[in-house]
Amino acid sequence: MDLSQLERLSEYAWRVPPRGGMRVPAVLYADRGLMEAMDDKVLEQICNVAGLPGIVKAAYAMPDAHWGYGFPIGGVAAFDPDQGGVVSAGGVGFDISCGVRTLHTGLAVAEVMARQERLAERLFQVIPAGVGSTGRIHLDEARMDEMLAGGAAWAVAQGWGRPEDLERIEEGGRMSGAKPEEVSARAKHRQRNEMGTLGSGNHYLEVQKIAEIYDPAVARRFGLEQDQVVVSIHCGSRGLGHQIGTEFLKEMAVAARQHGISLPDRELACAPIHSDTGQRYLGAMRAAINCALANRQILTQLTRDVFDEIFPGTTLDLLYDVSHNTCKVETHEVDGQKRRLYVHRKGATRAFGPGHPDLPPALRDAGQPVLIGGSMGTASYVLAGTADSETLAFSSACHGAGRAMSRHQATRRWRGRKLVDDLAGHGILVRSPSMRGVAEEAPGAYKDVSAVVEAAERAGLARRVARLEPLVCIKG
């Protein structure tokens, strides 16, 4: 990226003042190295976002930002419905509510390593993964609508988990305002056999060791202890969410013209929040959020079953579940006034600071857990939200490392079988139905996650609590 176009606000913050059709500034958080490595398209896209109607304060890009559809992945923007604010399917993304949840095992690294091979094989046998993967649950029309309205709460009621899990999930495990009737028959058909599956791409289930603690006090509140083992699950709303995104992007392209919205990029297709299209999309998107929450909840119980088989008596208590790729109605302070805004986070994590009333009481004093995923051979991180993040980026932080090259480029550079063998040589067991998929998600295809996390911390978006390293990875 050509940095001459930006004003440097600090070592970890950059600004583009309003120009052309921009209504507000664009602000990017990263150090110089990460900024220079970003594609120029990121700057173009975040400046385009800054020109959408009703946008408030600024359009933001997180340290892991990279080129996406319409919005950059790692983009954050908030819109005021009373000032003509819009909702954009491209600002949410295709994998609606893709997210991460982390579970405590209560096991030490030595205990898990003694049965590592068996654990990897059983998880691979039990957790459906890969393109077109299907699970043991088959939903008819009535049960599909119940799931889309109920989210993780529905899954728990069906026996997939425990009621206390819901206390550690955003929105209490159920996104209100969901409208299953706004989800097309095609989207529902794609999902009817996919509940409790990982899918493909960068989705995974990892058994991880806690390799380093940065903030002992917060780590204790989160229940994290060095050389203990946790499990992290990364997946989303599968085919249903993708279908919703595809359908509404087409409809929003028409709606934008009908409402006189001039788009610098057709991929920024949007509709006024108060419009019929906007309201129907929000209802469908919230149903997709519930789908993702239910999906991760089912995968949690499948994982618990495997651990109880191999390590009898383990409970796998939930630390937290965070979503990426959402648009949520939240109260934020703008120019000294509290306003209800529609906050788009695409490839970004909500990061509420200490004391926020939406956090569960057990975590409220420490701030929200922010779960940052790695890629097979690289570290993942647990961060905590900060009070400063509210003013910096509507309480938002990065969500992962961010791709450094395309999947096509990755498959030209790496071979999946060799990657699996090399990682096994480093004590990391990878199981996947697709060696091409492994190559696409090679650790080298991503940015340095440690640099991304450090930039997020130095910028004030979130603070490091613990570093996690993979032991077993089930890859889609």
DSSP labels, 385-423: E-STHHHHHSSEEE-B--BSS-HHHHHHH--HHHHHHHH
CA distance 363 to 168: 9
H-type alpha helices, 313-463: 361-364, 389-393, 407-413, 416-425, 435-440, 449-459
Q: Are 77 and 344 in contact (CB under 8 A)?
A: yes
Give the CA dihedral 320, 401, 324, 353, nearest 10 degrees. 60
CA distance 41 to 408: 18
Where do the DSSP E strands lie in 260-395?
A: 270-272, 318-323, 326-334, 337-346, 348-350, 369-372, 380-385
H-type alpha helices, 171-227: 185-191, 216-222
Angle at 61 between CA 57 and CA 65, to 5 degrees: 170
Q: Are 59 and 47 in contact (CB under 8 A)?
A: yes
CA distance 440 to 411: 5
| C-alpha dist (Å) from residue 423 to 109, 360, 376, 416, 471 | 18, 37, 8, 11, 10
CA 121 and chain centroid, separation:
27
Which positions are annotated as active-site residues? 399
